Amino acid sequence: MKNLICFCLLYLVVVTAQAQSPKVTVLFQDQQTLELKLTSSTIKDIKKKTNDSTYLPAYLGIRSASGGWDSMAIEVRARGIFRRKNCYFAPIRLRVKKETAKGTVFEGNKGLKLVMPCENSGDKDQLVMKEYMCYKMYEKISPYHFKTRLVKLTYIEKDEKKSKTYNLVTFLIEDDDDVAKRFNAKIQENLNLHPLRLLDTASIKHDLFQYMISNIDWSTTYLHNAKIMLQTQPTNRYIPLCYDFDMSGFVNPPYGVPNEELGQQDMRDRVYRGFCRPEPVVQSVRQHYLKLEPDVMATLASYEKDFPPREYTTLRKYIEDFFAIMKNDGDFKKKIVDGCRKK
């Protein structure tokens, strides 16, 4: 009887915790490509007239099940640094009022990032798809990730004289705070935290992933293309969240340049930027990656149809080369265990 009571109490605790735990919003539960129409001021105005606190009015159309368009008023601003200055399109942040989003697929999402291509070029859709695939591969590797959703976007920019329409492949990224809430954590700002204070397994998974896609455009200390969330239960744990993979060797954008100071001759040259950790922990995460190789490769294969055969073969071979390093004891010791950052 005593055991039964304990079991019932434990069951109630688990159920209550699950009921109280924030869920992934409907927008990101469904992974079918979303069809949207965004109408706003010109791209030039958005880049020039917005900042972290200043937004411009816009309208977002959502393709309904009947084939028509449902429209709602939203606000937009430019985000990012490099692409905002150097690209034709800027990455955009959407802000939707709670009462406006109610009853739509956007309910529960107050703030969202919309990843746009850099240039209006012939390869723009493929470059966005490659970055999107990075997010999807990381979903298989770490529970601490941003949810995303692919979007077929009709983008209409208007000024007083004329309007321009662009048909783009883009994707949405959930808000930082929504990720943190899912783990009963909070996003931290202005930490200047040394990477060795991050949760070791989460940090190594993050660092190896950046190595896998050959991305060195990040810093968890200076919060460049990274966020840190703090879990206080059962103990204080700092956990990295990574995003913005467009400057990786996997995406290999035409505007990217190798970091010769780190020994890169080509953006696709991998350089491990993780700090040194106890080898048993590193080896444990290595086994985690090797176990997940079929899942990562299956995720990659699910987007084969979005690329010409030669381009997809190049992408697959690039990830296969990473797993070859992970499987080879000598290569892993040289490039990861001994190649880690000491300072």
Tens of pLDDT, residue by residue over 107-159, are: 999 999 999 999 999 999 999 999 999 999 999 999 999 999 999 999 999 88
pLDDT over threshold 60, residue 168: yes
pLDDT over threshold 60, residue 14: no
| Model pLDDT, residue 80 | 84
Q: End-to-end CA distance of the chain, in Å? A: 58
**Confidence band of 64 (pLDDT split at 50, 70, 90):** confident
Q: How far, in Å, CA of 343 to CA of 339, rounded? A: 12
| Model pLDDT, residue 9 | 40
pLDDT over threshold 80, residue 5: no
Give how far Cα 181 sits from Cα of 25, 203, 226, Å.
12, 19, 17
Nearest to residue 227, comparing CAs of 176, 158, 156?
A: 176
pLDDT over threshold 60, residue 2: no
Q: Which of 10-24, 39-53, 165-179, 200-214 has the lowest mean pLDDT?
A: 10-24
Domain 178-337 CATH assignment equals 1.10.357: no
Using a pLDDT cut of 90, give the percent of the chain over it.
84
Q: How far, in Å, CA of 116 to CA of 166, rounded? A: 11
| Model pLDDT, residue 332 | 98
Nearest to residue 239, comparing CAs of 176, 296, 326?
A: 176
Nearest to residue 27, comparing CAs of 60, 50, 3?
A: 60
Quick one: average pLDDT of 308-319?
98
Give the distance, in angstroms, between the CA of residue 55 and the centroid of all CA atoms in the same chain.
Answer: 23
**Confidence band of 96 (pLDDT split at 50, 70, 90):** very high
Q: How far, in Å, CA of 295 to CA of 199, rounded? A: 24
Q: How far, in Å, CA of 269 to CA of 266, rounded? A: 5
Say if residues 31 and 148 touch (Cβ distance below 8 Å): no
Residue 168's DSSP bridge partners are 153
pLDDT, one tens digit per residue, over 206-245 is: 999 999 999 999 999 999 999 999 999 888 999 999 999 9
Backbone angles phi, psi at 120, to 5 degrees: -85, 65
pTM for the whole thing?
0.92
- Provide the 8-state DSSP code for 341: B
Say if residues 324 and 270 touch (Cβ distance below 8 Å): no
**Confidence band of 31 (pLDDT split at 50, 70, 90):** very high
Give the type of residue at 204: I
| Model pLDDT, residue 22 | 53
Quick one: average pLDDT of 40-46?
92
Give how far Cα 68 sits from Cα of 28, 96, 103, Å.
22, 21, 16
Taking 3-state DSSP, the helix, strand and coil percentages for the chain, each rounded to the nearest 5, stand at 40, 25, 35
pLDDT over threshold 50, residue 13: no
pLDDT over threshold 50, residue 74: yes
| Model pLDDT, residue 1 | 47
Quick one: average pLDDT of 56-63?
95
Quick one: average pLDDT of 282-303?
98
Record the tokens describing residue 60, joined without a space: 């977002």
Pinpoint the residues of the chain covered by CATH 1.10.1070. Answer: 178-337
Say if residues 72 and 59 touch (Cβ distance below 8 Å): yes
Quick one: average pLDDT of 94-116?
94
Give how far Cα 80 sits from Cα of 43, 58, 320, Å.
14, 19, 31
Report the sign of the C-alpha dihedral through residues 215, 220, 224, 227, in that order. Answer: positive
21 CB burial (10 A radius; 0-12, 13-18, 19+)? exposed
| Model pLDDT, residue 160 | 76
Q: How far, in Å, CA of 258 to CA of 214, rounded? A: 10
Nearest to residue 270, comparing CAs of 212, 336, 339?
A: 212
Q: Which of 66-80, 263-277, 278-292, 326-340 has the lowest mean pLDDT?
A: 66-80
| Model pLDDT, residue 315 | 98
